[in-house]
Structure 1
């Protein structure tokens, strides 16, 4: 691949940040919306690029929902490949026409989803994306027998489709309402992080090539190249940050400033923390407060980051300029320390560390150094990973180990989990999330993360996988059957 600077040739940096388009306004009551998946040219900061889009946008339009709402979503497929949707982080049934990734819409067809947003769904930031399970035309996942290619199109997988552009943001409610009164009226921005790997300067490599996370790529914010966000001195804003790319991690730093975390992966913080950087694996989200200092400018950047000795090394890259204009603030030019907020915030989930554990399970993530990625030594094959189902209403403790030389971001559908420890280091109760980076092995010692999860409301196949989508597409995926008490799975 050409260098990132060469791929970005023709893009003009510095334009005012534009939030992603809205699919609908936030309003109560039943809602019907439509997403059209279509390949077309988009503009990236003045440069025409061929991509796959929802409703013509490289960053899909933001879906606004409120707790207790029924959403009918029609997915119109105008691609040359089958496609579907996953509603990442939402507590929805994994069966029927809800968050069921086994549904697949052929080219020219419309898939209709019925989403009953729970009354207790935490307000926060979520996202949607393709989750089709065919990695490339004419092939199936290793160990799997997939349906034949559609008669009038390809069958491409999750990596290809997210990498080409198929993802967007979901905002549940308005989590500013759960902040202290001083911050309930602050300006909120959505920052959707994606990258575009451009072949021949004019198209995302898929479907004309193979996406490769280790290759040079152009990092974008809301589909823009190095946009500018303007704040007034002393102003505090809420940034809803989502990693909506197919594979690449972000280690975010706001030069000269800090972030106050008020939500992670859609979950309100039990203990809001002020931090200097944010690590977002693929699929990760943070809701943070930021405060401008004295007039000046600074950068939001992703720091140099390695995913392990056998994996990828990402360079330090500037993402978004922050211009601070005259206002009532003081402190360092550009940014200052963001506010301290006391927790727990309304809707924060309870600490599971003292709960009785119904069952303990082990999940080992591994790869062969090539294109086979496994869980517990098995490539995904449509069979449950565990013989014993989980039981509704119970709490389980899972030990995730990583024996490979690269990090694997582990994601569970349907409900978030609490991280108890990482490589033996206890984590604070605030660490509720739906994806966690399981660190790579060091000197033959596997990386280890211990989590607890409560199974509530829905029976069926609760999926889990690595959220580096090429790993998922090539076998690192599984599921646990969840049954009602007394069920057999």
Structure 2
């Protein structure tokens, strides 16, 4: 498989009849047109075409034996990714027409030509080695020097981060301190250990200075680790083995929903963003929208001002088809955007709904309030950030911050049409520190007959049947008892709880934005010669705070367990329900790799430093904050704390 093949012509998206969708919504009692539903369905991103050692035995490595060389299954998979510009179209509901866009994208064999900026989904398993042959075919930048390290720069240089994977951060593994300039090819190698958790992860660029611009351009893809390990009396298993359909013979139906916020703009002859009278960004026929400038395309309130829509799997205002009333599904939710909160809600749409075409801001919120009037459906979260919960968490509001993943079980109670909405996030839950508008994300079309059982009871019944059919005899009663005791999943949690008596160290961290616009961790903007030293084998408790603004904390390699989240009055809101704080409801004891830190709150987490040494980073996952300096290097040292290799002050 040759990643140096000549560039193909830019793919132009085929027309998609979004107007037909809106007209169908406006027709009293009308079902969505079949062609609109088919052409604008929220289809899953294409699967990555990966060459595996078992697919081509002749290419496998050889094991030398006394009888001669025999093929050895190396359990390897290889994927080609080429970073280049692609031309396609994005539907703009505000103007009721398509905008042509030119975006930096991952191209790979099998990329959807209609949505070339949506990266393919990588599917792997514990114990497999994933090789990603990345080639940077973006235009050269001979003059990409920046005024300072923390001024966004070099937008055509890149690298790759496997967000959430428990793999080495050094060498050609998950090394985000590498720089791949235009024209450079490099093969990443992710060696997933045999005990790696199964779950929902993702990948995206992570070069300091260009991360936000590239991710906002759509450079992101899901990375699913599927597991077949059954639990035993001495080892927990993979949740995949329990999430089976009603007959327990097939995996539960699932959907991957990747939320992206592509903040493209068209410019006039003076280089200014074109806007409508109300300030929304517009593109005239013949314009090409791009993401090319930090100064006016990123920052506080920019996304709301733009009037752009959050896309789902690359489609704006899609339909979600194939849903059946009373059928349980697993939805893998991935916030692959840069900065704005998504507060996912599901509500039944009233039968005689007007069209939302052209609405934004207060007008759109009025439309949602008038037409999305059904009771909010519960989402039952089984995992966050790819890590299975000890107990299923019921959510009516699913607040997703950039970098978050949420695996939820959903069931629609009766046939009809349902609103999939980004509900108005309150100021305290929003990365913008301001209340956000409600926005329609799409329409779910549900067929079949009414189901007379609630979703919680349906989950208990279906998972109970699956446990009776699939779980080994020596753990079956434990799994069934857990399900009867509040839908617990203790046999499937990938990491052991961290009790207080295991903790042998303390860390603290605070985010801040200064009055002179410096983005900082612990009072310092990012400097590659500075690092926080940690020691392999230790277990530490961290306290995270923010002096200004809210920031999603993300640390590479080692996930963490939530201990407590104290509001400014000292209340632990991680133990409370949604009525108190939907951002943090029922988070105590859960495992995550990304967690929102509100201004004035104290977030307490615990983590073990296991297996991997080397230098990596922690940062705010509002990616333009990271590019502007809200990041810090971490050096994991060998157990005596002295054998760190290259000292931090000599790095780079």
Q: 1:187 to 1:367 in 2, by over 3 A?
A: same
* CA distance in structure 2 between the aligned counterparts of 1:26 and 1:254, rounded to whole angstroms: 38
* CA distance in structure 2 between the aligned counterparts of 1:270 and 1:203, rounded to whole angstroms: 48
User: 1:294–1:329: 8 Å Cα contact kept in structure 2?
Assistant: yes
* CA distance in structure 2 between the aligned counterparts of 1:50 and 1:337, rounded to whole angstroms: 48
* CA distance in structure 1 between the aligned counterparts of 2:450 and 2:76, rounded to whole angstroms: 43
CA offset digits 1:442-474 (Å, max 9, x no partner): xxxx22111111101111124100000111111
User: 1:294–1:331: 8 Å Cα contact kept in structure 2?
Assistant: no
Q: CA deviation at 1:354?
A: 3.1
Task: Report the TM-score when normalising by structure 2.
Answer: 0.65
Structure 1: 5+ residue stretches without partners: 1-8, 135-156, 441-445
Partner of 1:161, secondary structure, is helix
* CA distance in structure 1 between the aligned counterparts of 2:160 and 2:131, rounded to whole angstroms: 13
Look up the match of 1:285: 405
Q: 2:43 aligns with which of 10, 15, 18?
A: 18
Look up the match of 2:255: 189
Partner of 1:292, secondary structure, is coil
User: 1:123–1:266: 8 Å Cα contact kept in structure 2?
Assistant: yes
Look up the match of 1:320: 442
CA offset digits 1:99-148 (Å, max 9, x no partner): 000111111111210110121111111110010112xxxxxxxxxxxxxx
Look up the match of 2:79: 33
Alignment of 1:24-423 (within 5 A): 24=49, 29-45=75-91, 47-55=99-107, 57-80=116-139, 81-134=156-209, 157-173=210-226, 177-181=240-244, 182=246, 185-200=251-266, 201=283, 203-207=288-292, 210-213=296-299, 214-215=301-302, 216=306, 217-230=308-321, 231-255=323-347, 256-307=376-427, 311-327=433-449, 329-330=451-452, 339-340=459-460, 341-369=487-515, 371-386=517-532, 389-404=533-548, 406-423=549-566
* CA distance in structure 1 between the aligned counterparts of 2:214 and 2:517, rounded to whole angstroms: 18
Look up the match of 2:151: none
Q: Using the TM superposition, name which of 42-51 and 449-458 deviates more.
A: 42-51
Q: 1:103 to 1:204 in 2, by over 3 A?
A: farther
Partner of 1:199, secondary structure, is coil
Largest Rg, 1 or 2 = 2
User: 2:614–2:636: 8 Å Cα contact kept in structure 1?
Assistant: yes
* CA distance in structure 2 between the aligned counterparts of 1:250 and 1:337, rounded to whole angstroms: 28
* CA distance in structure 1 between the aligned counterparts of 2:596 and 2:42, rounded to whole angstroms: 29
Q: CA deviation at 1:348?
A: 3.2
Q: Using the TM superposition, name which of 392-401 and 321-330 deviates more.
A: 321-330
Q: 2:596 aligns with which of 431, 437, 446?
A: 437
Q: 1:464 to 1:204 in 2, by over 3 A?
A: farther
Look up the match of 2:150: none
Task: Give the superposed CA RMSD.
Answer: 2.5
Structure 2: 5+ residue stretches without partners: 1-15, 22-36, 55-74, 92-97, 140-155, 228-237, 267-282, 348-375, 461-486, 576-586, 645-652
User: 1:41–1:51: 8 Å Cα contact kept in structure 2?
Assistant: yes
Q: 1 or 2, which has the higher helix percentage? A: 2
Partner of 2:490, secondary structure, is coil
Q: Using the TM superposition, name which of 424-433 and 361-370 deviates more.
A: 424-433
User: 2:413–2:450: 8 Å Cα contact kept in structure 1?
Assistant: no
CA offset digits 1:2-32 (Å, max 9, x no partner): xxxxxxx995555222100111369772111
